[in-house]
Amino acid sequence: MTRHLFCNLNRQADLTAIFQKIDRDASGSISVDEARAALRQMDFEDDETEVLVRLHDRNGDGMLQFEEFVQFWKTCGNLQNE
Ligand SMILES: [Ca+2]
């Protein structure tokens, strides 16, 4: 139930809030560790999360910037709806 709600928030304002929540050290990008911690609450496996981060890390810095995160979150929502 929780994971469903969490992933269905797709409006820009909600996405910003989610991004800031996941970005624990407020660095402006989400590290693999931060992504893992967040997706663990949604029953994703750690290695699944790593693959998802790598897939969406377009500039290859190993982290998700907000624009990358938006796509990442969409994919995550799609996976959960399957
Ligand atoms: Ca990146």
Distance CA 52, CA 13 (A): 22
Task: Tell me how far the alpha carbon of residue 52 lies from the centroid of ligand 1, in angstroms.
Answer: 12
User: Cβ distance 29 to 63 under 8 Å?
Assistant: yes
Task: Tell me how far the alpha carbon of residue 43 lies from the centroid of ligand 1, in angstroms.
Answer: 23
For residue range 51-73, list pLDDT tens digits in order: 999 999 999 999 999 999 999 99
Single pTM value for the model: 0.83
For residue range 6-53, list pLDDT tens digits in order: 555 556 778 999 999 999 999 999 999 999 999 999 999 999 999 999
Task: Tell me how far the alpha carbon of residue 29 lies from the centroid of ligand 1, in angstroms.
Answer: 7
CATH architecture designation of domain 2-81 = Orthogonal Bundle (1.10)
